[in-house]
Structure 1
């Protein structure tokens, strides 16, 4: 089959500036390309050629201002059996007009069928033109079906994945060595490390974790929170909210570290040096991919009861879900309990790693997508 995968106009593929969709497309594209003809479309970037073939995948990149128009023209001239569009339901109609005999798949990674993002008429048109709508979580699927019941027989959850060979749990030789090296570099020897990875934005809730810190260090004086991320993907610009976080962190200089944006291929060592992972999202998160990365690295997860995040958590086995997600003390209570139980930390980490190996590797995602493409 000849398959096109279309990224959004926000970030390039490969994910040189990060981005969950970009990581997703590049990973599954390379696996599917082992048996099929795969083209990935994304925006241009100074580090990347406009057209290239790598790992069996043809990459075609267009400037952002004329991005979808350029793709539309391209598919008029190059026939595809399947066109998989990520997160842009409004693109389906013009693309379908350009290639009416192609099977269209829409994957939805956020609430793209909300009232403020698409009209009733445009949403219905999109649904009528696609063969399937794959979503990253049951939660996202429910947001589509609740507004557009006619989509019910087309919506299917296909969870995202991770490359387990890039992440090394602390009980492995490689993981132990990475942990030792990174902790030495960051001055974290002998510390209990709580990790946050994500954009430094209010909806991600890092301020709530900082507010929980006094309670945590009263019970665990050697605890350190490490925040990895920036205001936006690949950018380290500081806004008022980030300044506020830095001000809060400065109150506890021995217990807080901020690390700016880290490229996806460098993140594994920072997971490896940690003891547990916390996702404090305050918005209805579709299902943050950091959950898969934390499990792959053998870290117990504490996550908020928002959106699809709880869907990969088995309570008490690989993590805990915080119902009272706006309350710093709710996080502190669970963090304190886990930091006091080193054996439990390892048991939960091993369960999470096993869960990822069995269900959430990229080959699982690619196989699930191929079933969608072929049916």
Structure 2
């Protein structure tokens, strides 16, 4: 089977600049490439060659300003069996016209079928031309099928995944070593660490966690809330919202710290050094991949009842859902509960790690994708 995996025009693959889609494509490509002819297509980057081969996978990179045009020209002559396009339903018509014999699979990682992103005609045209639509959560699937019922028979949820080797729980020998090293380096030995990983934007809700700090500090003076991220992938420039967060956080110099953009390879250790993970998203999140990462590192989860986030939570088994998601005190209650009970943290963390191993390893994701590709070709 000859397959092309197509990233958006935003970031390169491999994910040297971050990006959930980029991590997703690079991870599954190396596994699917063991049994199929796989090409990953993304934008050019000064740190990457325009074309190369790694681990049985070919990588092609096109200029971001003429990306779709170059992509269409490439698929016209490449004779792929399946082209898997990520998050760009509006591209399907152009690509399908360029290569009518190819089967197209669209994966939807955000609400790309919203009225402000695609017209009724474009949506219907896309759905008629694709063989399958993969969504990262049931929530995203419903955003498509509720507007376009004709997509129902083609749409299937395939949850994303995580590298089970890169993320080490603290109870493993390697995890224990990483935890001690990073805590020593950052000066956090003996602290209870609450971790936030994500863009520092209002929709992600870090300000809500800062508003919860007085209630948390009241019960746990040894807490350290660690915010990992910047305003955009790889961009440490400060906008007004980030400046507000830094000013707000400075009110609690002993209990709040910010770590700016971290290269993807350094992210796993930050989970391992922490005690629990919080996702405070205020928008209808498709299903943030940080949930998989936290579970893989053996952390209990606290997440907001937004979008697809609750779909990976088994309440009281691997974490908790905050239904009153705009209320700082609602987060404080759950954070304090977990900080007060190390055995509960350990039990939830163990269950989460086992859940990831069963359901969300990249081998499982790749197997699910291959099954859909084969269905598309029938």
Pairing 1:1-375 to 2, within 5 Å after superposition: 1-375=1-375
SS of equivalent to 2:231: coil
Deviation of 1:235 after TM superposition, in Å, equals: 1.0
Q: CA deviation at 1:77?
A: 1.6
Q: Secondary structure at the match of 1:147?
A: coil
Structure 1 position 164, deviation (Å): 0.6
- Residue 34 of structure 1 deviates from its aligned partner by 0.2
Separation in structure 2 between the aligned mates of residue 146 and residue 286 of structure 1, nearest angstrom:
15
Deviation at 1:265, TM superposition (A): 1.1
Instruction: Supply the distance in 2 between the matched residues of 1:167 and 1:124 (Cα, whole angstroms).
Output: 41
Partner deviation per Cα, 1:231-255 (whole Å, 9 max, x = no partner): 0001111000000000010000010
Q: CA deviation at 1:289?
A: 0.2
Q: How far apart are 1:264 and its partner, in Å?
A: 1.2
2-structure distance, mates of 1:182, 1:137 = 33
Q: Secondary structure at the match of 2:100?
A: coil
SS state at 1:216 partner: helix
**TM-score for both structures, normalised by structure 1:** 1.00
Q: Distance in 1 between matches of 2:365 and 2:176?
A: 29
Q: d(CA) in 2 for partners of 1:76 and 1:170?
A: 49
Please report how far the alpha carbon of residue 78 of structure 1 lies from its aligned counterpart in structure 2 after TM superposition: 1.0
Instruction: Return structure 1 stretches of 4+ with deviation > 3 angstroms.
Output: none
Q: Distance in 2 between matches of 1:168 and 1:116?
A: 41
Cα distance, 1:263 vs. partner?
1.2
Q: Secondary structure at the match of 2:5?
A: strand
Aligned-partner Cα distance in 2 for 1:368–1:32: 11
How many angstroms does 1:76 deviate by? 1.1
Alpha-carbon separation, structure 1, partners of 2:16 and 2:327: 35
Mapped to 2, the partners of 1:74 and 1:177 lie a distance apart of 47
Secondary structure of the corresponding residue to residue 165 of structure 1: coil
Q: Deviations over 1:300-330 (max 9, x none)?
A: 0000000000000000000000000000000
Q: What TM-score does the superposition give when structure 2 sets the normalisation length?
A: 0.99
SS of residue matched to 2:165: helix
- Structure 1 unaligned residues grouped into runs of 5+: none
- The aligned length equals 375
Q: Secondary structure at the match of 1:168?
A: coil
Q: Give the Cα separation in 2 of the matches to 1:356 and 1:268.
A: 15
